[in-house]
Amino acid sequence: MLIVAGLGNPGPQYAGNRHNIGFMAVDAIARRHGFSPWARKFKGEIAEGQIGGEKVLLLKPLTFMNVSGESVGEAVRFFKLEPKDVVVVHDELDLPPGKVRIKTGGGHGGHNGLKSIDAHLGRDYRRLRLGIGHPGTKEAVNPHVLGDFAKVDRPWLDDLLEAVAGQFELVVKGEDAQFLNRVTLATTGSEEPSSAKGSAGGAAMRAVAPGGAAPKGQSHIRQARSGGPQVKIPEKGPMADMLKKLFGKE
């Protein structure tokens, strides 16, 4: 059994906040996979269902963000599970909007919801981090996370939530790198760079351009193979002289 806890704050006044992207994600998963109606339990709302043949409990803590651990910890203890059986979905200031990372363990990075869960479970649970971007200054953080997503954000946000829900079976199976690659393909049309796949904490996906369709990205190698734009190397002039010196060509 897997518990998937999406973090946010309860109440209609917070429903569209950037801080509530965790709630939005588990709502999307529940819709996509035909989960039960939401019910009150474990100081939160729960929905039950199966993904890929595995039993999954979706949880939205109603304790407010800063004490999310009370709800998540109660559910974990009730089912006698371990931290490895928990995935927490949350907003991430340190990732640009549209980027996704997933990892096991690590610090809370100042996120009060994670800090509370750490106190109840320890750190050895998986975190699905959904980028919302940083406003630039510490003073602007609270208005940013407690502010609603703008209309211009809706195209990339909707695509992201749909992709996360659609590919979530891979998370249930523990195939995190494959999940991130599929989400990237679904939202940007290009595969996850191999360097990102091998990086600590999981792969990152490129942000979808706000207000427009997902870009159909291609590597320079793929463009060259497909007859795309070629870079012409100069044969004369200052640039040519510099290249000759750099590569030792006379």
Residues 10-68 have pLDDT tens digits of 999 999 999 999 999 999 999 999 999 999 999 999 999 999 999 999 999 999 999 99
Type of residue at 55 = K
CATH code, 2-217: 3.40.50.1470
Predicted local confidence at residue 106, as pLDDT? 84
The ranges assigned to domains in the chain are 2-217, 218-250
Percentage of residues in the chain with pLDDT exceeding 70? 76
The model carries a pTM of 0.77
Helices (H), 42-111: 68-78
- Measured from the Cβ of residue 49, the count of other Cβ atoms closer than 10 Å reads 16
Predicted local confidence at residue 205, as pLDDT? 37
Catalytic residue numbers read 19
CA pseudo-torsion sign 7, 13, 18, 23: positive
pLDDT 10s digits, 178-220: 999 999 888 887 776 655 554 434 433 333 333 333 333 333 3
pLDDT 10s digits, 100-133: 999 998 888 789 999 999 999 999 999 999 999 9
